[in-house]
Each structure stands twice: as C-alpha cells, then as structure tokens.
Amino acid sequence: MRLENGDRSTCHPIVNSSSDDEDDGGLLRESYSPVLDGEGLLVPPLNFAMVDYGVFRSGFPDTANFAFLQTLGLRSIIYLCPERYPEANVEFLNANGIQLFQFAIEGSKVEVIFRNVYLNITFSVPLFSMHEPTGFSGGAIQEPPLVNIPEETIKEALRVVLDEKNRPLLIHCKRGKHRTGSLVGCLRKLQKWCLTSIFDEYQRYAAEKTRVSDLRFMELFDISDFKQPPTFCSHSPN
C-alpha cells in the first residue's frame, strides 16, 4: 500500500496543527492522508503515526478506520482508557486475530477558580504542582486533587510494547495526545532520547493542549527496571 505523504518507516511524521476550538478536541490530522488501494478509501485514525518499526499510535479508531488498520497487520492494540471497548471494535479485533491490552488510565476533570476566571482542566497523569498563572494574583481558591497514575501502569504497558510477539501494535487513547503521548515519551526514554526530543514529539500532537504535568511525569519516569533499551528502534534523533 502506498501512502501519499512519504515513507511510513520514518519515526517523525509531519503533523498539521488544527486551529479548531475545544469543542473539536483540538485534534491533529497526521500526514497520512486517505488513499485508495484499488478496493476503497483507506482512512487513518486521527493523530495516526508510526512510532517505530511495528509500533503505531493514534486517537480512538472507529469503523471508518478499520480497512486502514487491516493493512498494518496488527497483532495487538494497547488501549489506555478505562471505558469499555466498543462492541464494533471488539468484533474487528476478533475477526482479525488482534489481542487487546487495556490499561485503565483515568482522565480526571477538576475545577479550579482564579479570581473571576473559571477553568475546567483535565489531567491524565499526576500533577506535581500548581503555580499561579501569569497575570493572576490571589492564587487558587480551590486546589485541584492529585490524579495518581501508578508508574507501574506505564511500565506494564511498556512491557507489552517491548514484547516482540505483540508487534505490530497500535497504542491509542481517546485523542491520541496525552495518555498516548506520555506512554510514547516513556518509551523514548528507554530509547535514550534526550528530553528535548521527547517533549518536542509530545508537543507536536498535544499542541496548545500540552500539559506540564505530562512533561513532568515523563521527565521523572524511572527506567531502571528496564535493563536494555529496545532493540527494534532506530537511534535517538540528533
């Protein structure tokens, strides 16, 4: 199958930032445009990209994306949300012999009030500190509760990624930005990427929705349990 915009083997696909507002989720459309394979239109999921050889990432795939996913020859899907997997998706997995690994990482909405300004903020990983925004005085009236995502959850998901028998695999959450981006960022630490490159990749998908708490989580993530870096991957970018 041919993709319109370049070679799928690259670890750094170009994404186009969306100017959509919050109602549209601030999604990005990756450079893999819909293509014809002679049988029909192949539509990638939102935020789809190749992370590395046999490892892909995306937002939540729907039925329109199934034909495209079949071309990847997936063995596994890593699903990072607590909600039950849709029946149509389960049927697709069963029909194609794809194993589902679900890691229930909560997205928690908290309310924070800053002097006449109401903010509704969603955190997908632990928030280590909350600083007063520039231009505000008086601080928060209500402190947000910590959202404790056990580091072991990410480590378990990484073990699935590193197990060769599970690849090719797709990692996804709802939007393919925060939870997926955090897991991919921790994988990059194993691959000896510098933090600048890790954060740059994360921000290409999160864009203006970038969360300092996600960056902090990736920075502090402990990789000492993993003795060897993944052998399936290319080297760290310069």
**CATH code of the domain in which 155 resides:** 3.90.190.10
Positive or negative, the CA dihedral 154, 160, 162, 168 is negative
Residue range 19-47: average pLDDT? 60
Same domain flag for 120 and 203: no
Residue 1 DSSP symbol: -
Q: Which residues does residue 121 pair with via DSSP β-bridges, in sequence order?
A: 110
Residue 85 DSSP symbol: P
Residue range 65-81: average pLDDT? 98
pLDDT at 19: 36
pLDDT at 74 over 80: yes
Task: Give pLDDT tens digits for 90-138.
Answer: 999 999 999 999 999 986 543 333 333 333 444 444 433 333 333 334 4
Tell me, yes or no, if 173 is annotated catalytic: yes
Same domain flag for 55 and 81: yes
Same domain flag for 40 and 143: no
Q: Note down the domain range covering 67.
A: 15-105+149-217
Cα separation, 14 vs 95, in Å, equals: 32
What is the rounded radius of gyration, in angstroms, for the C-alpha atoms of the chain? 18
pLDDT at 39: 64
φ, ψ of residue 127 to 5 degrees: the values are -95, 115
Residue 23 confidence class, pLDDT cut points 50, 70, 90: very low
Structural domains counted in the chain: 2
Positive or negative, the CA dihedral 84, 87, 92, 93 is positive
Residue 2 lies in a domain: no
Residue range 137-147: average pLDDT? 38
Cα separation, 114 vs 199, in Å, equals: 28
Of 11, 81, 173, 186, catalytic:
173
Residue 236 lies in a domain: no
Same domain flag for 88 and 67: yes
Residue 80 lies in a domain: yes
Q: Map tokens 């990638």 to a residue.
A: 44
Residue 50 lies in a domain: yes
Q: Which of 216, 212, 211 is nearest to 26 (CA)?
A: 211
Same domain flag for 189 and 155: yes
Which of 16-30, 69-83, 149-163, 184-198 has the lowest average pLDDT?
16-30
Mean pLDDT of the chain: 75
Specify burial of residue 144 (Cβ count, 10 A radius: 0-12, 13-18, 19+). Answer: middle
Residue 145 confidence class, pLDDT cut points 50, 70, 90: very low
Same domain flag for 165 and 114: no
Same domain flag for 43 and 92: yes
pLDDT at 7: 36
Q: Which of 210, 229, 227, 208 is nearest to 218 (CA)?
A: 210
Same domain flag for 75 and 116: no
